[in-house]
Amino acid sequence: MPEKAARCLGTMFQRISIAINAEKDRLSELDGAIGDADHGITMSLGFMAVNAELAKLDLAQVSPSEIFSTAASAFLDAVGASTGPLYATAFRRASQALKADESLSPACQAMIIDEMRAGIQQRGKGQRGDKTMLDAWIPAAEAAIEAQARSRDVIAMWNSIVDAAEAGANSTSSMVAARGRAARLGERSLGHIDPGAASAVIILRAMRDTFEAGMVDG
Ligand SMILES: [Mg+2]
């Protein structure tokens, strides 16, 4: 299973990169409304760098944990500012947690989401309501834990994760930014969805598509 799991995660990072790249302009437009209009470009460069590094690995030989640690280093190298350390910490925490469970079972998938949430929160020191990517990641992680507690199947779990992330991201348009560059705008940040929350939804959708497809393939 670890071999197959590593391939699954390689596919996941490819899907994330493709999805982010497809919405790069929209993300930069969202960032332009409240920030410096580079979010689409930086996220796109970050995930391209991740995939370039993953392409150097033999996925038959590496563990799922190593996939995430490689992603962490590559993302941090490519994206120095703000978002870089947040996702690097998210991937590093997922990598650590995967050392104990590399199965990529539904419970393990839920753990990855919650560890990523914890990493972003640990690094950014943010809370829900700050108008950041955590407004998508916190409800997504809660939905994952809830789905596990209720023994939901993989498809139901991922649909609830993505629904929660989308609702959370949409809710940022009625928030005043408390952190990051947008906080300087104060009330002028009202009416705009946070670009980091929007890209979090794209990432989570790509993860859902990967793990649902993995289920169908057995
Ligand atoms: Mg920016």
Residue 167 CA to ligand 1 center (angstroms) comes to 22
Confidence label for 3 from pLDDT (cuts 50, 70 and 90): low
Residue 127 CA to ligand 1 center (angstroms) comes to 19
Which pLDDT belongs to residue 2?
61
Considering only the C-alpha atoms of the chain, give the largest distance between any 2 of them, rounded to a whole number of Å.
51
- Residue 176: alpha-carbon gap to chain centroid: 22
Give CA–CA dist 70/50, Å, rounded: 7
Confidence label for 208 from pLDDT (cuts 50, 70 and 90): very high
Q: What is the CATH number of domain 2-212?
A: 1.25.40.340
Rounded (5°) CA angle 163-200-144: 45
The answer, yes or no, to whether residue 216 has pLDDT greater than 60, is: no
Query: Can you list the positions of beta strands (E) in the chain?
Result: none
Confidence label for 218 from pLDDT (cuts 50, 70 and 90): very low
Residue 184 CA to ligand 1 center (angstroms) comes to 13
Residue 4 CA to ligand 1 center (angstroms) comes to 36
Percent of the chain at pLDDT above 70? 97
Name the residue ranges covered by the structural domains of the chain: 2-212
Residue 30 CA to ligand 1 center (angstroms) comes to 9
The predicted model scores a pTM of 0.95
